[in-house]
Structure 1
Amino acid sequence: MIRVLVTDDEPLIRAGIRMILTSADDIDVVAEAANGREAIELARAHAVDVVLLDIQMPVMDGLAAQAELRRAVPEARVLILTTFGERENVLRALGEGGAGFLLKDSAPAELIRAVRAAAAGDAYLSPGATRHVVDSLSSGRAAARGEEARRRVAGLTAREREVLALLGEGLSNADAGARIHMSEATVKTYVSRILAKLGCENRVQAALLARDAGL
C-alpha cells in the first residue's frame, strides 16, 4: 500500500485529492497538512511514501518544504501539485530532488498515475509541465548540442526514435500509445529501453534530447 500525505491550505482541495487517491486500491492517504511545516512533522510521524505539496501556502510554501523534506525524510518522494506552472517553479522542484510536478487541472487518473510513479522511484511530469520545461530550456541551447544529440539518437531503432519524439511532445505513455497504436505497457518498455540507451535519468532529459536532435 502506498502511504500518501496530502498538503494544501484549502480543506476542500485536500478532500478532493483524498477522494481521488483513495479510489485506488493501492493508495492510502494517511495524513493531511495545511502548510509546509505541518507536512514535515506529519511525514516524520507517519512514515509516508509520497508527499503531495501545494506551492503557495502559509507558514512554509511547498518548494521550501520540499527542500526540508529531502533532509528530514529522505525516503519520502515529493510531488509538487499546483496551479502555478511557471518555468522557475518546475525547474526548482526538479532541481531540488522532487519526484515530479503535477498541475491541479490534471485528470484524476493522472494524479493516481503520478503517485504510483513517484512511489516506484520514477520521475513524473504532467505533459503540460514537460512541454513547458522542454520549450524553455531548448530555446537557449547552442547548435553544437544538436549535433551531439543527433549522434546519440542515431543508435536508436526507428521505432525507438518515434517513441522518443512523442516524449519530446510531453505525451504520457498512454497518449503516446494511442498516437502510434501501441499498448501503454509496450510504450513503457520502449521508454525504459530508450532511457538506458541514451544514458538519460528520466523522461525530461530524454525529451530535451529529442528536441535537441530535431525530433
Structure 2
Amino acid sequence: MNRDESWGVIADQRRAVADLLAGLTAAEWELPSLCAGWRVRDVAAHLALAPQPPGPLTMAAAAVRAGGRFHRLNHDMAVRHAARPPADLVDELQRHAGSRRLPAVTNYRNILFDVLVHAQDIAIPLRRPLVMPVRAAAAGATRVWTMGWPFWARRRLPAVRLAATDTDWSAGAGDEVRGPIAALLLLLTGRHAALPGLAGPGVARLSDLRSHPEQP
C-alpha cells in the first residue's frame, strides 16, 4: 500500500473506532482491553493522542517520570489522557481522523498497524465486530515482521511459517500456522486472542504466547 492508501485506511479506522466507542456504556469504557493493564478507555486515549502528539518538553518530562521505559511512557500518557470524558475522546478521534500529523519517533507505516491492532484491542473484548481491511493488515504484518523492536516477531515465532488464508501473504519457515491475515497480525503483535483463529501443525508451537503480555 502506498502512503495515501495507508492514510485513507488510518482515517477510516479512527472513524470506525469512534463510532464503536460512541455506543458504549460507562461500564464498557472501563473493561480491560487486549493490552495487559490497559482499559478500553486507555487504548482509545492512545489512539486519540497519535494525531495530536505532545510537544518535546512534555514528552521529555513524561519520559523522566517513566524512568526512560518506553512502554511505561506510552501507558502513563494514555492513562492521563483517558481521564477526559468519553465523549471528548470520541470527538477527538472523529475530528482528527484525517490528520497526517505524526509523533516525532514514528512513521505512517507504524501508525497503520498501530490503529489496526488497537482497534481490535478494543473491539474483541467488547465482542463488537470491527472489520480489518485485508490489504492493510497484510501491509501491517509485513512491517511488524521486518521491524524488530518492539515486537521482535521473528525472534518470538521461530520455526513456523505463517500463511494467510485470505490473501497472498506468508513469512517464516517451518511448521505452518495459517489463518486470516487479521489474526496473523494480532499474533505478530503478541495478542493471544489471535490463537482461536489459527490452524495448522505450527499452532502447538505458539502455546507459550499466552505467557507473554500483550504489547501496547
* TM-score, with structure 2 as normaliser: 0.32
| Structure with the higher strand share, 1 or 2 | 1
Higher RCO (CA-CA < 8 Å; seq separation 6+): 2
